[in-house]
Chains A and B, each alone.
Chain A
């Protein structure tokens, strides 16, 4: 997998300390829909190099993170900029929707 995986500490660092403009997908190994959405992100990632971060959180490993955002399902893509939460997308989302949301987040 080409998305960088974050644990709770890494999440804190990237999203809040560095205030990176980025997205974080909350996913799990055995989820069917996640397996469709993760490759879409992997393909998009190179187009945004140095402009927008792409991260991955495994909800099985880092429970505290999904509890903190009171998520109710995977996959779920959360968007951040300057340490601010910018919204999320749940379930099966299409490439175009993700691109739109990234440009919204970068505004």
Chain B
């Protein structure tokens, strides 16, 4: 099927592109879907100085390299916004805004994050009319203007200084006591001594004012409770990011309160064959290099998962013969003995069945899927449908098997 893939990657930032490189190289039929331009958030980064091998490179240039690399491995790219996902079947369904549907054996979620909104009056209405979230995109429009920056993290302070290249004055609204910024020390000191930067402490903004364009902001001092107005032509919000995982709300995927996806060291989510990488997962460091690492890990894990899935389909689901699916533990002697006893008892009389053994230690997926709690366990499957289940060490005799299998 044309819309059917081994691996579907949602998001084409550094995490998604790295996964694509590994997926493509492993000869998986791989599709990357992105609603915007390939490269993600990095496209808005003017300068990257901490990606190994590149002492200094612009964000878009680095992402071009990633994209070109993925192209060499035959990865497909599609522009579109994913609005829904159904992970309940083995073939996972991805639905785009225009209604197109795609199916993947495994899905890697690499949707990154977007600026958090304060949701104060005027913020939405005046977006693009003075309210902004991206300095690279919009700073230049404020040549000679007075601009307010909300927030005091790395992004707020560093972008604030960039805006000051254009603006006449940049006023930073900070929640904390005088002198305390959330950003790194070096940037903090530079900003505090910057001739065009001013700071308003212990404060937040309550409203953006203006008819057609931003004319002022309403500032509230948290200590005194007093509000005041500050006239300005622009407001940049840098009050943190939120993961772009809203569309996954009803997919059964586990997320934390803020919408980040917890993943294990294989980048696997709580769902089989669904992985989360980069900024949209719960993690310690959100950078390009760590996003790339996540992508590689997930693609390799997905490759193994798909291989197992294919094997299983071939050997079990499509088997002409009935299958005795044996769950055992390769490190446990009793369990091994049981295996050979079972082989013997079914072979002796040339019973018409096939034994497929599953090592619980490495194939937890299957154990979960069939709700196997104890080892050894034997499931009798006919075209994948379970007809009987035996738990415990007692080995059935050949005659007993015969009566079960001929029923």
- Would you list which residues of chain B between 271 and 308 have a CB under 8 Å from chain A? none
- If A31-B44, A91-B127 touch, does A70 touch B137 (CB 8 Å cutoff)? no
From B35-43, B66-74, B342-350, the one touching the partner chain is B35-43
Q: Which residues of B contact A8 (CB under 8 A)?
A: none
Q: Which residues of B contact A44 (CB under 8 A)?
A: none
Chain B: interface residue total (CB-CB under 8 A): 27
- If A30-B136, A32-B137, A36-B35 touch, does A70 touch B60 (CB 8 Å cutoff)? no
- B137 in contact with A90 (CB, 8 Å): no
Task: Give Cα A31–Cα B79 distance, bound, in whole angstroms.
Answer: 16
Q: Which residues of B contact A70 (CB under 8 A)?
A: 213
- Would you list which residues of chain B between 27 and 74 have a CB under 8 Å from chain A? 35-37, 41, 43-44, 59-60
- B128 in contact with A72 (CB, 8 Å): yes
Task: Give Cα A33–Cα B40 distance, bound, in whole angstroms.
Answer: 10
- A72 in contact with B234 (CB, 8 Å): yes
Q: Which residues of A contact B150 (CB under 8 A)?
A: none
Does B214 have its Cβ within 8 Å of any Cβ on chain A?
yes
Interface of B is mostly: mixed
Q: Which residues of B contact A59 (CB under 8 A)?
A: 140
User: Interface 1/0s, chain B 197-229, versus A by CB < 8 A?
Assistant: 000000000000000011000000000000000
- A73 in contact with B138 (CB, 8 Å): yes
Does A35 have its Cβ within 8 Å of any Cβ on chain B?
yes
Interface centre among B128, B134, B234, by most A CB within 10 Å? B128
- B141 in contact with A66 (CB, 8 Å): yes
Closest-CB distance, A16 to chain B (whole angstroms): 22
Does B183 have its Cβ within 8 Å of any Cβ on chain A?
no
Does B142 have its Cβ within 8 Å of any Cβ on chain A?
yes
User: Interface 1/0s, chain B 336-377, versus A by CB < 8 A?
Assistant: 000000000000000000000000000000000000000000
Q: Which residues of A contact B136 (CB under 8 A)?
A: 30-31
- A30 in contact with B36 (CB, 8 Å): no
Q: Which residues of A contact B16 (CB under 8 A)?
A: none
User: Interface 1/0s, chain B 315-348, versus A by CB < 8 A?
Assistant: 0000000000000000000000000000000000
- A73 in contact with B128 (CB, 8 Å): yes
Closest-CB distance, A85 to chain B (whole angstroms): 12
Q: Which residues of A contact B214 (CB under 8 A)?
A: 72
- B142 in contact with A72 (CB, 8 Å): yes
Q: Which 8 A-B pairs have the closest CB atoms?
A: A90-B128, A35-B37, A31-B137, A91-B128, A73-B128, A35-B36, A73-B138, A36-B36
Apart from A31-B138, A72-B214, A74-B138, what 7 extra A-B contacts exist at CB < 8 Å?
A32-B134, A33-B36, A35-B36, A35-B37, A36-B81, A72-B130, A91-B127
Query: What are 7 inter-chain pairs, A to B, with CB distance below 8 A?
Result: A32-B44, A33-B137, A72-B128, A72-B214, A73-B128, A74-B141, A90-B128
